[in-house]
Amino acid sequence: MTDLKTVHVAGHPITYQDQGPPDAPVVVLLSGWCHDHRLFDRLVPHLAEDLRVLCVDWRGHGEDRSPVDEFGYAEQAADTLAVLDALHVDRFLPVSHSHGGWANLEIAERTGTARVPRLVVVDWLMTPPSPGFAAGLAAIQDPGRWIEARQGLYDVWLNGHQHERVQRHLDEEMSGFDFEMWARSCRVIAGAYAEFGSPLQRMAGLSEHRPVKHLFSQPATRSYEQAHIDFQSEHPWFEYRTLNGPTHFPTLDSPGKVAAEIRTYIDAP
Domain assignment present for residue 177? The answer is no
Residue 252 lies in a domain: yes
CA distance 235 to 102: 19
Please give the pLDDT value at position 266. Answer: 86
Among the listed residues 12, 46, 169, 248, the single catalytic one is 248
Answer yes or no: 248 catalytic.
yes
How many C-beta neighbours within 10 Å does residue 160 have? 8
For the chain, what is the mean pLDDT?
96
pLDDT, tens digit, for every residue of 110-143?
999 999 999 999 999 999 999 999 999 999 999 9
Determine the pLDDT at residue 268. Answer: 63
In a domain, 66, yes or no: yes
Residue 116's nearest CA partner among 49, 50, 234, 212 is 212
CATH number of the domain that residue 227 is part of: 3.40.50.1820
C-beta separation of 83 from 176 below 8 A: no
Range of the domain at 224: 5-127+198-266
Q: Is the pLDDT confidence value at 267 over 90?
A: no
Residues in the chain: 269
| Distance of alpha carbon 57 from alpha carbon 80, whole angstroms | 8
Q: Tell me: cis bond preceding 219? Omega within 30 of 0 counts.
A: yes
pLDDT in tens, 3-22: 899 999 999 999 999 999 99
Q: Give CA 68 to chain center in angstroms.
A: 20
* pLDDT, tens digit, 9 for 90 and up, residues 230-241: 999 999 999 999
Residue 64 or 78, more confident: 78
For the chain, the three-class secondary structure string (H helix, E strand, C coil) is CCCCEEEEECCEEEEEEEECCCCCCEEEEECCCCCCHHHHCCCHHHHCCCCEEEEECCCCCCCCCCCCCCCCHHHHHHHHHHHHHHCCCCCCEEEEEHHHHHHHHHHHHHHCCCCCCCEEEECCCCCCCCHHHHHHHHHHCCCCCHHHHHHHHHHHHHCCCCCHHHHHHHHHHHHHCCHHHHHHHHHHHHHHHHHHCCHHHHHHCCCCCCCEEEEECCCCCHHHHHHHHHHHHHCCCEEEEECCCCCCCHHHHCHHHHHHHHHHHHCCC
Q: Is residue 151 part of a domain?
A: no
In degrees and rounded to multiples of 5, residue 12 shows phi and psi of: -115, 135
Q: Cα separation of 212 and 131, whole Å?
A: 27
pTM value is 0.97
Q: Which residues pair with 239 in a beta bridge?
A: 213
- Over the range 92-115, which residues count as b (16 or more CB within 10 Å of their CB) and which as e? bbbbbbbbbbbbbbbbbeebeeee
Structural domains in the chain (count)? 1
- Judged against a pLDDT cut of 50, whether residue 257 lies above it is answered with yes
CB 268 within 8 A of CB 118: yes
Looking at the domain assignment, is residue 77 inside a domain? Answer: yes
Q: For residue 178, tell me if it sits in a domain.
A: no
